[in-house]
Structure 1
Amino acid sequence: MTALGFLYPGHSAEDDYPRIEQLLGSDIRLQVVHTDIGEDAHRVDALLEMGSAARLASGVEELRLSGAEAVVWACTSGSFVYGWEGAHDQVRALALAAGLPASSTSFAFAHAAHELGAKRVAIAATYPDDVAALFASFLTEAGLEVVSVRGSGIITAAEVGTWGEAEVLALARGADHPEAQALLLPDTALHTASCIPALEKELGKPVLTANQVTVREALRLADRRVNAPELGALFTREPIVQA
């Protein structure tokens, strides 16, 4: 049994995790611990507070007791908002507090895109434009070319969590770009676990979603690979070996 830990802010789309656990179909357990979201706002000051070391550390003991082998901060905006170096500092502090290998959803997106060999990406964000632009900057620091960015102007994770498959598909269609080798949907508050195959069929390319890549990142930290076609190209393709 491989136990993987996730610190998830508040309550929006955490039910993606038991769904993904089922789709993995193996001896893998996904343990979700909720952190205090503070002010629910896709606004820089609120996001910085949401991802603060104190808020993340408060959930660490529960994860340790669960037997988790690795921990991922399951929040994209609450990690990339710190910038490339700041996000590294955040993860280092989390690893030290937990005594476990650690990462965040922002790094999960970068690793997933590189694993698929996708050098050019498009972003379909629920966030306001200024926050979406910060994610684009983070990915550029990670060595990716962002060919387009679309924000949706949604302020709260609570509202994002009400979106269904129709809204997710519409966002993806509207944000895709012909030069993009993958489309990224960066919000762990967005329910996507049940519609990744439909998204990839619609767009004809890999689609990376926040909760999907977060789980893949935890598996990477635990040195596990799982073939799970219902979770899209990321869980079916062999990783690209970089020259």
Structure 2
Amino acid sequence: MQHAARHPARHTVGFLYPGYSAEDDYPRLEALLREAGADVSLPLVHTDIGEDAHRVDALLEMGSAPRLADGMTALAGRGAHAVVWSCTSASFVFGWEGAHEQVRALSAVAGLPASSTSFAFAHAVRALGVSRVAVAATYPTDVAEHFGAFLKAAGIEVVSLRGSGVITAAEVGTWGRAEVLAMATAGDHEAAQAVLLPDTALHSADHLTELEAALGKPVLTANQVTVWEGLRLAEVAVRTDRLGALFR
């Protein structure tokens, strides 16, 4: 029996994802968005990360312009209407201005609207209408503090910041529901209006509803906000109860 050809999605957002860890969140998120009625496609290409280390020098190299340009070469021809650098740490380590320059360079190479996961967090916090957040990070504390500084530059108050000391994305990618929930719970703060989990190496797509139920407040995770940011750039609005308060 021949199967009908799948028609190209009306809205396509491309993602440049560093290495291999939680990239399977993206087809999962695409499936959930399609179930909600969104005509979207989320093609992803893997960029060369160099050294897998949550260390500032390694992260600056991971997010360098040549590596992102190589990723865009691989993404070309996929019909993307926007592109997002699907990495938090290798965007916020450049600082507020440096991260803007990173995105401007990516947009110039792609010829498309572009963003990164760090800006996705900032925009998502604003979209939720909150101003005080807690950060529960997988990274060593010194790296997590760069994210705190980035958020402060965006006008967001960080009431609590907790690092977990994990050095590699490969290790983070092995974490399951229990580890994610434990980190989020430990990193919450009573004054926080939302909790942020900034690492695209962390599987989160299937845990969003449970995380928010456990903490009693919105939870923003890296792959969730990255996809939301891409849809925002492509001017696609999707509502679903399966992807947290951000999509409700």
Relative to the length of structure 1, the TM-score reads 0.96
User: Is residue 2:57 matched to residue 1:48?
Assistant: no
User: Is residue 2:49 matched to residue 1:31?
Assistant: no
The 5 Å alignment of 1:1-243 reads 1-25=10-34, 26-236=38-248
CA distance in 1, matches of 2:191, 2:198: 19
CA distance in 2, matches of 1:228, 1:11: 27
Deviations 1:118-140 (A, max 9, x none): 10000000000000000000000
> Unpaired segments of 5 or more residues in structure 2?
1-9
> Unpaired segments of 5 or more residues in structure 1?
237-243
CA-CA distance at 1:228 after TM superposition: 1.8
Equivalenced residue count is 236
Q: Aligned AA for 1:8?
A: Y
Moved more, 60-69 or 99-108: 60-69
Q: Give the greater-gyration-radius structure (CA).
A: 2
CA-CA distance at 1:64 after TM superposition: 2.6
CA distance in 2, matches of 1:18, 1:34: 14
CA-CA distance at 1:229 after TM superposition: 1.2
Deviations 1:94-132 (A, max 9, x none): 000000000000000000000001100000000000000
Identity of aligned residues (%): 70
CA distance in 2, matches of 1:31, 1:70: 11
Q: Aligned AA for 1:76?
A: T
CA-CA distance at 1:63 after TM superposition: 2.0
CA distance in 1, matches of 2:11, 2:73: 18
Q: Aligned AA for 1:43?
A: R
User: Aligned with 2:97: secondary structure?
Assistant: helix
Relative to the length of structure 2, the TM-score reads 0.94
CA distance in 1, matches of 2:240, 2:23: 19
Deviations 1:171-208 (A, max 9, x none): 01100000100000000000000000000000000000
CA distance in 2, matches of 1:103, 1:141: 17
